[in-house]
């Protein structure tokens, strides 16, 4: 595997959203692993036609087994997917993806030159690159990226930071997201916060901030979580996302027996979800409003061979069936919906074998991994007033895969 650096730029349309979407697209590509992504940097256009808008730039590093030419073709294909049309040099563009470095290799072909021949002159490339890989050495100039950045013109480059939206879709609402210290849960919590919600996170270990630690294998801990979450934010909860799930695929848990895995999945994924949603759902119904979201699995309905398939189908299938019944119990005051993710690139997907990478590509019509942000976007809609006529439904977030 080789580490490559890619520079991103945009000065047409919604530049920030384009760059965010491009980074997500790289993260979703099977066989390509995103290692780091920089902040966004705004800079004036250089040597561009008159009237060109300011650029947003960023940089990412990826780990790949693709050849440099194959990686270049992927970048060009993604550019086209984002509406890039190549006309005159340096013309405005929706998206620019440049292969800057490919390990320490020197490449000079009619279609590709690496390192990028002008990277050392471009502050808008070096500033974001130095943020993520400051000590990487330029294979020709023998200077680090940090040293090249310090020698390049960067005075007019501005770093942009995302801030919560005062008028976001969840402004004024309070939400509890279980299992929100990593993966899908962390992404849901981050999106909710960005859209104005006051978010209470949850995990098994203590953390700073609005966070409640609780072991969902213990029913008493589930009840304590419900009580503290209902009162901790100073006002009752509006939204509950039951995302927490037992990890039986990685670490020492992967070596447990079928029966041991089933027990912990039933305790955490099913029983804790039922207990927490019934507790907080009853409170929401009495107060007169609320939204609850559960997490299932798309292949629970279609089936998947093997121990893991049997385990997750049984447990997540039960969650999905329970969700539909709970929606009827809590209507009309509380809406209850589920999300059934497909192949989502969480911690396991980052290190999955080449065979699994190809399986994802083959079984997903869109041909890429789903990302935690894709699930978070669906959760945001289900939690917001925009989905006010939706309850008792399961939304598949799986790139179009069907049985």
307 assigned to active site: no
Task: Find the mean pLDDT for residues 118-144.
Answer: 94
Phi-psi region of 400 (alpha: psi -120 to 50; beta: other; left: phi over 0): left
Among candidate residues 15, 25, 27, 96, the one labeled active-site is 96
| The pLDDT of residue 12 is above 80 | yes
Among candidate residues 33, 98, 174, 298, the one labeled active-site is 98
Among candidate residues 84, 217, 283, 324, the one labeled active-site is 84
Q: Are the CB atoms for 61 and 78 separated by under 8 Å?
A: no
Among candidate residues 15, 66, 93, 345, the one labeled active-site is 93
CA angle 300, 225, 241 (to 5 degrees): 40
Task: Find the mean pLDDT for residues 212-228.
Answer: 97
Task: Find the mean pLDDT for residues 373-396.
Answer: 96
Question: Residue 202, exposed/middle/buried by CB under 10 A (0-12, 13-18, 19+)?
Answer: buried
Mean pLDDT, the chain, whole residue set: 91
Ordered structural domains, the chain, with CATH: 2-160 (3.30.70.560), 174-397 (3.40.50.720)
65 assigned to active site: no
Strands 32-37 and 107-108: unpaired
Give the pLDDT band of residue 47 (cuts 50, 70, 90). low
**pTM of the entire predicted model:** 0.78
98 assigned to active site: yes
Q: Are the CB atoms for 19 and 10 separated by under 8 Å?
A: yes
134-174: pLDDT as tens digits: 999 999 999 999 999 999 877 678 787 655 556 789 988 99
96 assigned to active site: yes
């Amino acid at each position: 595997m080789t580490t490559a650096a890619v520079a991103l730029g945009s000065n047409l349309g919604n530049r920030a959203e384009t760059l965010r979407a491009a980074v997500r697209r790289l993260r979703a590509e099977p066989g390509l692993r995103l290692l780091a992504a920089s902040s966004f940097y705004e800079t004036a256009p250089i040597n561009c036609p008159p009237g060109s808008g300011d650029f947003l730039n960023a940089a990412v590093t990826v780990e790949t087994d693709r050849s440099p030419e194959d990686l270049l073709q992927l970048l060009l294909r993604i550019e086209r997917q984002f509406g890039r049309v190549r006309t005159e040099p340096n013309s405005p563009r929706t998206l620019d993806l440049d292969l800057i470095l490919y390990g320490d290799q020197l490449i000079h072909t009619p279609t590709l030159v690496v390192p990028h021949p002008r990277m050392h002159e471009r502050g808008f490339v070096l500033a974001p690159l130095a943020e993520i890989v400051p000590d990487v050495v330029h294979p020709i100039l023998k200077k680090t990226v940090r040293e090249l950045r310090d020698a390049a013109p960067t005075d007019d480059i501005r770093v942009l930071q995302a801030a919560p939206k005062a008028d976001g879709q969840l402004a004024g609402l309070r939400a509890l997201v279980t299992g929100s210290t990593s993966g899908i849960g962390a992404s849901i919590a981050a999106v909710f916060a960005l859209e104005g919600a006051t978010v209470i996170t949850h995990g098994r270990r203590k953390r700073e901030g609005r966070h409640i630690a609780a072991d969902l294998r213990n029913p008493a801990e589930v009840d304590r979580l419900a009580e503290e979450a209902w009162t901790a934010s100073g006002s009752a909860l509006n939204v509950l996302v039951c995302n927490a799930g037992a990890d039986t695929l990685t670490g020492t848990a992967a070596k447990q027996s079928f029966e041991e895995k089933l027990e912990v999945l039933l305790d955490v994924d099913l029983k804790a979800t039922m207990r927490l949603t019934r507790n907080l759902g009853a409170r929401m119904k009495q107060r007169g409003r609320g939204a609850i979201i559960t997490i299932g699995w798309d292949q629970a309905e279609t089936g998947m061979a093997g121990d893991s398939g049997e385990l997750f189908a049984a447990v997540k299938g039960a969650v999905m069936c329970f969700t539909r019944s709970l929606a009827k119990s809590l209507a009309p005051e509380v809406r209850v919906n589920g999300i059934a993710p497909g192949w989502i690139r969480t911690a396991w997907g980052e290190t999955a074998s080449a065979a699994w990478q190809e399986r994802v590509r083959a079984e997903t019509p869109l041909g890429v991994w789903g990302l935690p942000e894709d699930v978070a976007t669906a959760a945001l809609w289900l939690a917001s007033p925009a989905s006010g006529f939706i309850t008792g439904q399961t939304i598949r977030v799986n790139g179009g895969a069907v049985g």
